[in-house]
């Protein structure tokens, strides 16, 4: 019985962690967590930049397809638009094909959301605007850009993409 009691006491005294071991383990976890946080931030930012590039490419391709059909006289365009869409909503709503009464062609399912500003409010440029203009003349939509004032990981401004 005495032997069993001594064995039990030895087990209980060695089964827990000391305060020093807990402090060291906590310090190691804190260092690892602080190293992982910047990596996670860069990964999230890189993903948003990828989404921005995809959204810009999607809208620019839709504008180009619209212009191509207008140049081939397959769709009717408004005067003064130079064959470009009047606004982004036309790309979503669609336009009637010339010569086909009940057929509409749509170029976008929806206007993408800018991941940097979390809104579908894009900067627009018309053919008549200067290439680096930050205000839209309103005649047509020749190009789109992000309204974000942020700087990308490669050092360029998002609005210049």
Domain assignment of residue 9, yes or no: no
- For the stretch 54-92, pLDDT in tens is 999 999 999 999 999 999 988 888 887 888 999 999 999
Listed residue (105, 112, 111) closest to 66, CA to CA: 105
Residue 36: the pLDDT is 76
pLDDT of residue 4: 67
Q: Is residue 73 part of a domain?
A: yes
Q: What is the pLDDT of residue 7?
A: 62
Contacts for 115 with CB less than 8 Å, ≥ 6 apart = 48, 51, 52, 55
Domain presence at residue 50: yes
pTM for the whole thing? 0.75
Are the C-beta atoms of 149 and 143 separated by less than 8 Å?
Answer: no
pLDDT on residue 9:
63
The predicted pLDDT at position 2 comes to 64
Task: Flag whether 101 is in a domain.
Answer: yes
| Per-residue three-class SS string for 71-102 | HCCCECCCCCCCCCCCCHHHHHHCEEECCCCC
Range of the structural domain that residue 142 is part of: 18-160
- Distance CA(1)–CA(139), nearest Å, equals 98
Helix or strand (DSSP H, E) at 104: strand 104-105
- The pLDDT value recorded for residue 5 is 67
Residue 91 lies inside a defined structural domain of this protein:
yes
For the chain, which residues score pLDDT lower than 50? none
pLDDT value at residue 90: 93
| CB-based contact 115:50 (threshold 8 Å) | no
- What is the domain count for the chain? 1
5 domain-assigned: no
Whether residue 11 is contained in a domain is answered as: no
| 6 domain-assigned | no
Encoded tokens for 153: 């990981």
């Amino acid at each position: 019985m005495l032997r069993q009691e001594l064995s039990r006491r030895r087990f209980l005294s060695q089964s827990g962690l000391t305060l020093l071991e807990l402090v060291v383990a906590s310090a190691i976890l804190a260092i690892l967590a602080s190293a992982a946080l910047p990596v996670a931030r860069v990964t999230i930012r890189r993903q948003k930049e990828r989404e921005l590039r995809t959204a810009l490419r999607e809208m620019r391709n839709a504008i180009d397809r619209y212009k191509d059909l207008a140049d081939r006289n397959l769709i009717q365009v408004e005067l003064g638009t130079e064959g470009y869409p009047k606004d982004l909503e036309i790309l979503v709503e669609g336009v009637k094909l010339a010569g086909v009464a009940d057929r509409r062609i749509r170029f976008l399912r929806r206007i993408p959301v800018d991941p940097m500003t979390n809104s579908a409010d894009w900067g627009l440029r018309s053919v008549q605007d200067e290439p680096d203009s930050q205000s839209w003349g309103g005649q047509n939509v020749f190009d789109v850009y992000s309204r974000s004032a942020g700087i990308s990981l490669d050092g360029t401004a998002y609005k210049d993409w």
